[in-house]
């Protein structure tokens, strides 16, 4: 393998199919590192019909001999982590000596889940569609400098003190605001002592590990979670996640320098989806949206929630390209559009009747966006399983070339089905991923 680095980032609202793409490309990298989010992000990978759903562990773990890293930018639920570890081992995946967890990652504790669940369901609160798994409150404690890190989880004395102090504070807050039942600090301490012993063999200084790989001329792929429009800074705030889902998060979330990043690969569906509340300019509100949901099996990998469906949004993709520095696109789920006679594409925005080239910063203005559509002819032929671009129907090729021209980044891959082998790889893209 040649020395190389690439960030795989979602260009929409998550659920773009990054798991499959990381799995396909990980063959060409020595290490795969997850840099943000928690077990609220699900990546589904299908290999020869066998389905793997990963929530915390990078998809690179499904490739023999690859090093997989959970970086410091991730918030770790140790119980969810060990459940996933044991499930993968039962499926024959080799993890020992190949999977590592940052000693600087933050730990999710039960009071994080309690507070998030209570807050999301509180009367009068605008629901933002969290998974209520404690992700947001864990990041809140991190920024308050009152969180528990994995390195601290392994120190029993520090763990006891942290849990006792935190429970006093969190139980008081939760009872006052939400009338929640108090959590038992002693029970929590015993449970976390036990799980800490199971997590300990995976823990290391992953920043040192990854920089060591690069120093020796190795290659690293950085695996994002969620998508650009869910980024805490650059997404449709407040309907966002609690971490840096954009490519910049790969640097802060793993400890590699920005100068080490060579390529940013944006993953987008051939249409668009979103889970939960928040603005969605190109959303489809008629029966076609339901048709796309069924054909694309658009239900959350973690929660099972139905995804809202819309047409591909080119202004949004241009924004994602700018924010992330995307030089290559991967287009997924092209085959879901196979039956359509006509495919609308959002080519520009209007807000209050005025054309704009920018994605508004506030959710209120996002809600007022009027999409300007250009209708393209459908191909009405199967693209499922096609592995060469020239063998796609001519109108499907035209559709992809239009996306490429209008966004300014080149298409490097096209996914034509859920399985690892149902993929088109452009020859021009291969050097970018070490092929």
Q: Which residues are catalytic?
A: 15, 43
Q: Answer for the pair 207, 103: CB distance below 8 angstroms, yes or no.
A: no
Determine if the peptide bond prior to 333 is cis (ω within 30°): no
How many Å apart are CA 237 and CA 23, to the nearest integer? 30
How many Å apart are CA 345 and CA 410, to the nearest integer? 18
Map 226-244 to HEC letters.
CCHHHCCCCCCCCCCCCCC
Burial classification of residue 370, based on how many CB atoms lie within 10 Å of its CB (0-12 exposed, 13-18 middle, 19 or more buried)? middle
274 — phi, psi (to 5°)? -155, 140
- The number of residues in the chain equals 435
How many Å apart are CA 34 and CA 74, to the nearest integer? 7
Strands (E), 215-326: 219-223, 263-269, 272-274, 308-310
Q: What is the dihedral of CA 106, 109, 114, 117, to 10 degrees?
A: 40
How many Å apart are CA 289 and CA 159, to the nearest integer? 49
The CA-to-CA distance between both ends of the chain, in Å, stands at 8
397 — phi, psi (to 5°)? -60, -45
How many Å apart are CA 260 and CA 263, to the nearest integer? 10
Q: Residue 100's closest CA among 16, 168, 33, 172?
A: 33
Helix, coil or strand: residue 130: coil
Residues near 354 by beta carbon (within 8 Å), at least 6 away in sequence: none
Residues near 367 by beta carbon (within 8 Å), at least 6 away in sequence: 279
How many Å apart are CA 56 and CA 34, to the nearest integer? 8
Sign of the torsion angle spanned by Cα atoms 383, 386, 389, 390: negative
């Amino acid at each position: 393998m040649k020395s190389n680095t690439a960030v795989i980032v979602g260009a929409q609202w998550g659920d773009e199919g990054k798991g499959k793409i990381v799995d396909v490309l990980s063959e060409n990298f020595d290490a795969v590192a997850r840099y943000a989010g928690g077990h609220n992000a699900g990546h589904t990978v299908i290999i020869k019909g066998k389905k793997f759903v990963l929530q915390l562990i990078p998809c690179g773990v499904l490739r023999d001999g690859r090093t997989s890293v959970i970086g410091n930018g991730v918030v770790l639920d140790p119980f969810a982590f060990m459940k996933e570890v044991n499930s993968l081992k039962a499926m024959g995946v080799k993890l020992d000596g190949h999977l590592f967890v940052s000693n600087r990652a933050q730990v999710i504790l039960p009071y994080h889940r309690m507070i998030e669940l209570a807050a999301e369901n509180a009367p009068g609160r605008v629901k933002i569609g969290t998974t209520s798994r404690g992700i947001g409150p864990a990041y809140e404690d991190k920024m308050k400098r009152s969180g528990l890190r994995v390195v601290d989880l392994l120190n029993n004395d520090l763990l006891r003190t942290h849990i006792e102090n935190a429970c006093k504070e969190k139980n008081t807050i939760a009872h006052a605001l939400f009338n929640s039942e108090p959590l038992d600090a002693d029970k929590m301490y015993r449970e976390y002592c036990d799980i800490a012993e199971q997590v300990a063999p995976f823990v290391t200084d992953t920043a040192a590990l990854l920089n060591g790989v690069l120093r020796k001329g190795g290659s690293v792929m950085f695996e994002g979670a969620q998508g650009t429009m869910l980024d805490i800074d650059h997404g449709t705030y407040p309907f966002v996640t609690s971490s840096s889902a954009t490519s910049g998060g790969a640097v802060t979330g793993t400890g590699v320098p920005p100068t080490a990043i060579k390529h940013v690969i944006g993953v987008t569906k051939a249409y668009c989806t979103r889970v939960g509340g928040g603005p969605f300019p190109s959303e489809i509100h008629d029966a076609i949206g339901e048709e796309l949901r069924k054909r694309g099996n658009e239900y959350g990998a973690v929660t099972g929630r139905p995804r809202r469906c819309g047409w591909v949004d080119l202004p949004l993709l241009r924004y994602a390209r700018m924010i992330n520095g995307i030089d290559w696109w991967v287009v997924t789920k092209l085959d879901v559009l196979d039956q359509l006679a006509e495919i609308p594409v959002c080519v520009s925005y209007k807000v209050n009747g005025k054309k704009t080239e920018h994605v508004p910063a506030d959710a209120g203005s996002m809600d007022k966006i009027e999409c300007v559509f250009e209708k393209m002819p459908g191909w009405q032929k199967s693209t499922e399983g096609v592995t060469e671009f020239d063998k796609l129907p001519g109108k499907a090729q035209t559709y992809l070339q239009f996306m490429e021209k209008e966004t300014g980044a080149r298409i490097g891959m096209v996914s034509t089905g859920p399985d690892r082998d149902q993929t088109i790889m452009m020859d021009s893209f291969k050097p970018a991923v070490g092929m």
